[in-house]
Chain A
Amino acid sequence: MSRLPPIAGELIDRTRAVEFSFEGRRCTGFAGDSISSALAANGIRVLGRSFKYHRPRGLLSAANHDVNALVQVRAGGRSVPNVRADVVAVQPGWQIEAVNTRGGVSADRLAFINHLSPLLPVGFYYKAFHSRRLFPHWERMFRHLSGLGRVDLSAKREITPKRYDFCDVLVIGGGPSGLAAAIAAAGQGASVLLVDDNAALGGSGLYARSGDAERVHLTQALIERVRADSRIRVLTDTYAAGYYADHWVALVAPECLVKVRARRLVVAQGAWEQPAVFRNNDLPGVMLASAAQRLLYSRAVLTTRRLAVLTANTQGYSAALDALSHGADLAAVLDLRDAPGPRSRAAADELARRSVPLHYGVTPIEATSRSGGTLGGFQFRSARTVAAGTGDVRATKQLEIDGLWMSVGFAPANALLHQAGARMKYQQNLQQFVPAELPAGIYACGKINGVYGLRERIADGTDAGACAAGSLTAGSARPRAPAPMPDESPTHEYPIFPHPRAKEFVDFDEDLQIRDLINACQEGFDSSELLKRFSTVGMGPSQGKHSHMNALRILARVRREPLDELGMTTARPMFYPVPLSHLAGRGFTPERRTPLDAEHAALGAVFMPAGNWRRPEYYAAAGKSRAEAIAAEVEAVRTRVGLIDVGTLGKIEVHGPDAAEFLDRIYTARYANLKVGMTRYALMLDEAGVIIDDGVIGRLAPDSFYFTTTTGNSATLFREFGRLAAWWGLSVGLVNLTGHYAAINLAGPASREVLRAHTRLDLSESAFPYLALREAEVAGAPCRIMRVGFVGELGYEIHLPSEHAASLWRALLATGASAGIRPFGVEAQRMLRLEKGHLIVGQDTDGLTNALEIDAPWALKMDKPFFVGQRSLRILESQPRRQRLVGFTLPTGAPRAPKECHLVLDGADIAGRVTSVGYSPTLQRCIGLALVKPAVAAGQALRIRIDGGALIDAAIAKLPFYDAAGARQRESA
């Protein structure tokens, strides 16, 4: 039993027992226990298996820093993988299993891989996948063997909120320095947000006690001041996972992702304790001293019966005293240094007084295991021993222990500072990178700054918080006080001890040993960036928190260069594992609807997305298939009358004395000579001459135009128009009416008669000719009516304020009933325009199709002084065409038809692709458009490869397919 009697400050509630199971074994913890602490309290030491070699693994950091303690949790019908056992509170009824095992954590069938490590050299993945022939084999094997938890594919989507938050000063880290920074900043009137990834504030101020009650009192006093200050808000169980520009910080809270915008940022995240690297340093029972202290003081769990402390700093002596004060059998303190440092001496004397053997100049040899794979002993040599009756001090010594606490150094938690662009320098007397230059508005304090003494950390935090808040007030900014010089390094310069039989793990995530990193360097991957990518050091879920510095030390030794010259890699956001549900959050995917949406639904519309709009694809008809319904809609337009909602078109006005000049520059045709009351086709190019949009421009008044853009481009183009107007310095005003105006296209031979019933406007051919624009009331609504012919019939495109759209739609349907009117959808419109050979920008063109390739010279006024893309077209005119848009038909009754994007072949070569295709009810055959090489376009037929690889031939046809003279839309027949 590992649970101790109650300890002051513990986070558990002993009145509330929590029953759960681990790998089928019933366990009991308390409310407030983390999964790890509850398992430790139940005497469970093996929590999982390592990623590559399937070695047994136990507690390492007891914090949010490593992946030894990832588990699968089943509860409430859900199965959640990779739950971080060190920080997630255990709940009643949870069924917990280890991840990455075959057959359970204690009898993992893949444990044999541990013995294959000589066959798995560094860069194994790259080397394995180098062979193209064996690639599928390796892929299958790796996919089968690798991975941590199992994703429950039946899980329902969780809608988690995303939240923004704001503050004057964001303090990240609730240890002594962070607490002090928050108090100081709030003291200057700043609104402060203090976040910490632990369940409670206090950090090491509460768990690194070394028997000194004053340390705890100091920290608790800070916590009480924070709690009492209304300007400080506190978020616990929340970690800062990424820094973004302008002081945006991603906070991962238990329930959601919080995006915080802070005016100033104080980073007080402390330092991650680092493992020593020696043979079998990963055995369960070998853990960081800080982990043992966290468990001891926050959950009253002592994980070991007999232990030793391997140290190189005062923190290790502190941990040894903590262990002694709670009744642990302390076998020895093993100091890597030749003598205790000045801050360690008093503790060393106290330990000696209490007859604890002290060894100095220690060289670890290996940890040894007992049955079950947990720690059973530790072999080492030492240069000096302070204990009676030790014999030959230089002889190899063996301790029989089940716990080894490591405290040999720290790595600063400076990932956020790196992401913010801070420059670091390596400080030799600390053996640590510290900030050399911080971006404006960002402050660091505490261990991250190289300050380790409790009172010094509080002073450093106070200064950082005061500076951060002071800089918010003009004239109050002042530079940071210099950090105190350390009198004892908290970190050993090289706590790495190779062994001839290896298994000295540098990276626990990826099972990387010392020789792996040395071999990677020798293979040429000898910079910090290359070493990381080739060996995968630091690329596991813990992102190098325990491996990065030791890997750099090995690299420095191989290259015989100082650490400062190697530099550090930047750990990019997210720096901690983040649940996908948090990242996905609540999806905001705006969908646009026209004011006629309810009318369509009532008429049985089958909707489809068009850009971000919802449009009727077709209207379902009783007893008719989709194709039949679409064909009936086409037939109605060709023979009677149909109406379609085209309100998704971009609808823009341009006003002002330079309006015509503006349009002349934007579009390829000429608009200065467009008469008031007339419209003209508009083709828009980019600077390279590539077609990017088209529409219709109508002139409302000498200095006012109304024009349309394609559905998907309206928002983008409106922004671009504004940019160009400002750039060119033209006197124009742009108004975007896209969502405020509806548009209905009434088309077909009977359209005039249907419209005439609702307007006093003279609709005769002479008064309202083809391509004319009129403003008039229709069904009582103020409308703009354009006689255009996209579908190739007599037609009127009616634009009006959206509030009147539904009444006009209903009125037209009612009046047209006797004429056989029918609403038609996007699919019918596509076929109608295809019969006319009209292209759709983005479907019949691609990102490289220039205006010379669509065979529409009438749309290009190359004699204008300027339009966007004109210069490129002039260059392209003298060059051979890359492709051409051609029409094609299949014989009537052809059994098979191509689909859009099917390839056109020229022999064995790709000569182009089908861009539009469909069965024309009017022509009773399959027709289409294709972008093909000019040589193929000059021929008689296209060879198209269809589904299944079959080849079919289509005849190249002159465009348009239907009403070549345009008589029907002009009504000149």
Chain B
Amino acid sequence: MSAGTALHFEQHTPRPRCGCKGPGAAGWLSSQGYRVPAEPNSAELDPGGVLVARLATSEFLLEPISGSADRVEATRAELTQRRQPVTVYPVTRQDLVVTINGEELNPLLRQICSVDFAPLLAAAVTGGGPVVLTSMVGVGVVAWPRLIEGAVGESSPAVTLWCEPSYAHYFWHTLLEVGRDLGSVTTGSKQ
């Protein structure tokens, strides 16, 4: 993010991701070596850089936030080929994924969502933490408030959003439109 930028929107859509749900999902993910969050609406970022977000009692989202994507690719293959126990159901995830940061992050969130992210961002950490299932600009999203590392090592609050892909065009362009009202906006895309 360049100096003077009010908001930066980074797309991570191409990253591999997968989901699973079912009564056996938590146990199966643990058996696969993932660090499974104990509570719904929370996430764990394991040492290998894979985010495991618990979206409900028995529903999970996996995505490699940093490091290698191999483990998630392998898990996705297991699910696609139905090699998991019958109590674990695969969930195909083709989401638009966007991380937003910048000085106007909270003002942006206050225009697009009725959830108060300020305390969540104030308490955000670089790994894990709460995930919020909410609606933004009329679209259901999974939101993960967190700290991200900048280019020179400083960390700043950010929120990563997962949005159903059929809303991707509307969601992305609406976020940019609102963001531009708040100041200069930059965009990017990376794995």
Interface of A toward B, CB cutoff 8 Å = 161-166, 259, 261, 586, 588-595, 597, 613, 647, 653, 655-656, 701, 703-704, 731, 733, 735, 737-741, 782, 801-803
- The yes or no answer to B125 lying at the interface (CB within 8 A) is no
Q: Is the CB of B22 within 8 A of A733?
A: yes
Q: Is the CB of B111 within 8 A of A739?
A: no
Residue among A166, A590, A704 making CB contact with B118, cutoff 8 Å: A166
Given contacts A655-B22, A733-B21, contact A738 B166 (CB under 8 A): yes
CB contacts (< 8 Å) of A802 on chain B: these are 94, 165
Q: Is the CB of B110 within 8 A of A739?
A: no
Q: Is the CB of B178 within 8 A of A593?
A: no
- The yes or no answer to B70 lying at the interface (CB within 8 A) is no
Q: Is the CB of A739 within 8 A of B169?
A: no
* A835–B6 alpha-carbon span in the complex (Å): 57
- The yes or no answer to B38 lying at the interface (CB within 8 A) is no
* A258–B32 alpha-carbon span in the complex (Å): 47
Q: Is the CB of B137 within 8 A of A590?
A: yes
Could you say which of A731, A739, A803 has the most chain B C-beta atoms within 10 Å of its C-beta? A739
Q: Is the CB of B138 within 8 A of A588?
A: yes
Residue among A165, A613, A735, A739 making CB contact with B89, cutoff 8 Å: A735
0/1 interface trace, chain B 75-106, chain A, CB 8 Å (1 if under): 00000101000100111111100000000000
Q: Is the CB of A591 within 8 A of B94?
A: no
CB contacts (< 8 Å) of B123 on chain A: these are none
* A749–B23 alpha-carbon span in the complex (Å): 45
Known: A592-B166, A735-B91, A740-B165. 18 other contacts (CB 8 A): A164-B111, A164-B113, A166-B116, A593-B168, A593-B170, A647-B166, A655-B89, A703-B86, A731-B23, A735-B90, A738-B164, A738-B166, A739-B94, A739-B166, A739-B167, A740-B92, A740-B95, A803-B94
0/1 interface trace, chain B 135-159, chain A, CB 8 Å (1 if under): 0011100000000000000000000
CB contacts (< 8 Å) of A588 on chain B: these are 137-138, 174
CB contacts (< 8 Å) of A586 on chain B: these are 111, 178
* A647–B86 alpha-carbon span in the complex (Å): 28
CB contacts (< 8 Å) of B167 on chain A: these are 590-592, 739
* A653–B169 alpha-carbon span in the complex (Å): 25
CB contacts (< 8 Å) of B170 on chain A: these are 590-593
B21 to chain A minimum Cβ distance, whole angstroms, is: 6
B5 to chain A minimum Cβ distance, whole angstroms, is: 20
0/1 interface trace, chain B 21-43, chain A, CB 8 Å (1 if under): 11100000000000000000000
Q: Is the CB of B166 within 8 A of A164?
A: no
14 contacts between A and B (CB under 8 A): A164-B110, A166-B116, A261-B114, A590-B138, A592-B166, A593-B169, A594-B166, A653-B89, A656-B89, A739-B94, A739-B166, A739-B167, A740-B164, A741-B92
Minimum CB distance partner of B90 in chain A = A735
Q: Is the CB of A589 within 8 A of B94?
A: no
A484 to chain B minimum Cβ distance, whole angstroms, is: 37
CB contacts (< 8 Å) of B137 on chain A: these are 588, 590
Could you say which of B111, B165, B168, B181 has the most chain A C-beta atoms within 10 Å of its C-beta? B165
Q: Is the CB of B114 within 8 A of A259?
A: yes
A804 to chain B minimum Cβ distance, whole angstroms, is: 10
Minimum CB distance partner of B169 in chain A = A593
CB contacts (< 8 Å) of A165 on chain B: these are 110
B63 to chain A minimum Cβ distance, whole angstroms, is: 14
* A593–B173 alpha-carbon span in the complex (Å): 13
A324 to chain B minimum Cβ distance, whole angstroms, is: 49
CB contacts (< 8 Å) of A739 on chain B: these are 94, 164-167
Q: Is the CB of B169 within 8 A of A597?
A: yes
CB contacts (< 8 Å) of A733 on chain B: these are 21-23, 58, 89
Minimum CB distance partner of B92 in chain A = A740
* A92–B8 alpha-carbon span in the complex (Å): 38
Q: Is the CB of A161 within 8 A of B181?
A: yes
CB contacts (< 8 Å) of B111 on chain A: these are 161-164, 586
* A704–B90 alpha-carbon span in the complex (Å): 11
* A647–B111 alpha-carbon span in the complex (Å): 31
Could you say which of A162, A164, A613 has the most chain B C-beta atoms within 10 Å of its C-beta? A164
Q: 4 tightest A-B contacts by CB?
A: A739-B166, A739-B164, A166-B116, A592-B166
Q: Is the CB of A613 within 8 A of B116?
A: no
CB contacts (< 8 Å) of B94 on chain A: these are 739-741, 801-803
B65 to chain A minimum Cβ distance, whole angstroms, is: 19
A777 to chain B minimum Cβ distance, whole angstroms, is: 11
* A735–B21 alpha-carbon span in the complex (Å): 8
* A440–B75 alpha-carbon span in the complex (Å): 50
A656 to chain B minimum Cβ distance, whole angstroms, is: 8
Q: Is the CB of A801 within 8 A of B22?
A: no
Q: Is the CB of B178 within 8 A of A164?
A: no
CB contacts (< 8 Å) of B80 on chain A: these are 782
Q: Is the CB of B138 within 8 A of A589?
A: yes
CB contacts (< 8 Å) of A162 on chain B: these are 111
A723 to chain B minimum Cβ distance, whole angstroms, is: 15
* A675–B171 alpha-carbon span in the complex (Å): 40
* A166–B116 alpha-carbon span in the complex (Å): 7
Q: Is the CB of B169 within 8 A of A591?
A: yes
B60 to chain A minimum Cβ distance, whole angstroms, is: 12
Q: Is the CB of A164 within 8 A of B21?
A: no
A195 to chain B minimum Cβ distance, whole angstroms, is: 16
* A701–B170 alpha-carbon span in the complex (Å): 36
CB contacts (< 8 Å) of A731 on chain B: these are 23
Minimum CB distance partner of A256 in chain B = B111
B145 to chain A minimum Cβ distance, whole angstroms, is: 15
CB contacts (< 8 Å) of A161 on chain B: these are 111, 178, 181
A834 to chain B minimum Cβ distance, whole angstroms, is: 27
CB contacts (< 8 Å) of B181 on chain A: these are 161
Q: Is the CB of B178 within 8 A of A163?
A: no
A272 to chain B minimum Cβ distance, whole angstroms, is: 32
CB contacts (< 8 Å) of A589 on chain B: these are 138
* A163–B178 alpha-carbon span in the complex (Å): 11
CB contacts (< 8 Å) of A164 on chain B: these are 110-111, 113-114, 116
* A586–B23 alpha-carbon span in the complex (Å): 42
* A13–B44 alpha-carbon span in the complex (Å): 57
* A597–B166 alpha-carbon span in the complex (Å): 10
CB contacts (< 8 Å) of A647 on chain B: these are 166
* A566–B135 alpha-carbon span in the complex (Å): 44
B117 to chain A minimum Cβ distance, whole angstroms, is: 9
A703 to chain B minimum Cβ distance, whole angstroms, is: 7
A478 to chain B minimum Cβ distance, whole angstroms, is: 26
Minimum CB distance partner of A594 in chain B = B166
A138 to chain B minimum Cβ distance, whole angstroms, is: 42
Residue among A166, A593, A656 making CB contact with B166, cutoff 8 Å: A593
Minimum CB distance partner of B96 in chain A = A739
Q: Is the CB of A595 within 8 A of B165?
A: yes
B189 to chain A minimum Cβ distance, whole angstroms, is: 15
CB contacts (< 8 Å) of A656 on chain B: these are 22, 89
A652 to chain B minimum Cβ distance, whole angstroms, is: 12
Could you say which of A166, A259, A613, A704 has the most chain B C-beta atoms within 10 Å of its C-beta? A166
* A628–B86 alpha-carbon span in the complex (Å): 52
Minimum CB distance partner of A800 in chain B = B92
CB contacts (< 8 Å) of A259 on chain B: these are 114
A646 to chain B minimum Cβ distance, whole angstroms, is: 13
A657 to chain B minimum Cβ distance, whole angstroms, is: 8
A668 to chain B minimum Cβ distance, whole angstroms, is: 26
* A701–B84 alpha-carbon span in the complex (Å): 14
CB contacts (< 8 Å) of A590 on chain B: these are 137-139, 167, 170-171
CB contacts (< 8 Å) of A740 on chain B: these are 92-95, 164-165
* A163–B108 alpha-carbon span in the complex (Å): 9
Could you say which of A165, A701, A735 has the most chain B C-beta atoms within 10 Å of its C-beta? A735
A261 to chain B minimum Cβ distance, whole angstroms, is: 7
CB contacts (< 8 Å) of A594 on chain B: these are 166
* A586–B177 alpha-carbon span in the complex (Å): 10
Could you say which of B21, B111, B171 has the most chain A C-beta atoms within 10 Å of its C-beta? B111
Given contacts A590-B137, A595-B165, A802-B165, contact A163 B110 (CB under 8 A): yes
